[in-house]
A = this chain, B = another copy of it.
Amino acid sequence: MSEHIRISEAEGAVMKLLWEKEPLSAGEIIERLQHQTDWSDQTIKTFLNRLLNKEAIRFEKTGRTYLYYPIVTRDQYMKAENRSFLNRVYDGAVGLMCAKFLEDEKLSESDIEQLQQLLDKKRKDG
């Protein structure tokens, strides 16, 4: 069942673009990525192809241009990555993990408030 599609880091960069705006043509994807990275167009095409093979994205051929759409959602991706990270590094100990992040990373005021609200809600009906 859907056999746990694994999206690599570089492939993730492509997916992020498609999650922002869908669909995108190969040209658009290449252009945007070349602003952020130093990948050649061929390299980016490779990633598109691998994502197609993994069925993480699909395309629709409208006349001359291929338009790409994500199949895997950002939410699915984040959830899967979270799980594997949490288990790999923290053996599933969410509390420890969050604590470590809060300890090391800078959070804005609004981040903090937002998290406090989430925690409150979780305490009530979690």
Q: Which residues of A are interface residues toward B (Cβ below 8 A)? A: 9, 12, 16, 77-79, 81-83, 85-86, 88-91, 94-95, 97-112, 114-116, 118-119, 122-123, 126
Contact = CB atoms under 8 A, between A and B. Distances in A.
B89 A12 contact: yes
Nearest to A77: B89
B118 A116 contact: no
B115 A119 contact: yes
A16 B88 CA distance: 11
27 contacts: A9-B88, A12-B89, A77-B89, A78-B89, A78-B100, A79-B100, A81-B85, A81-B88, A82-B100, A85-B85, A85-B89, A94-B101, A94-B105, A94-B111, A95-B115, A97-B101, A98-B102, A98-B111, A99-B115, A99-B118, A102-B115, A103-B118, A109-B123, A112-B126, A115-B115, A115-B119, A119-B119
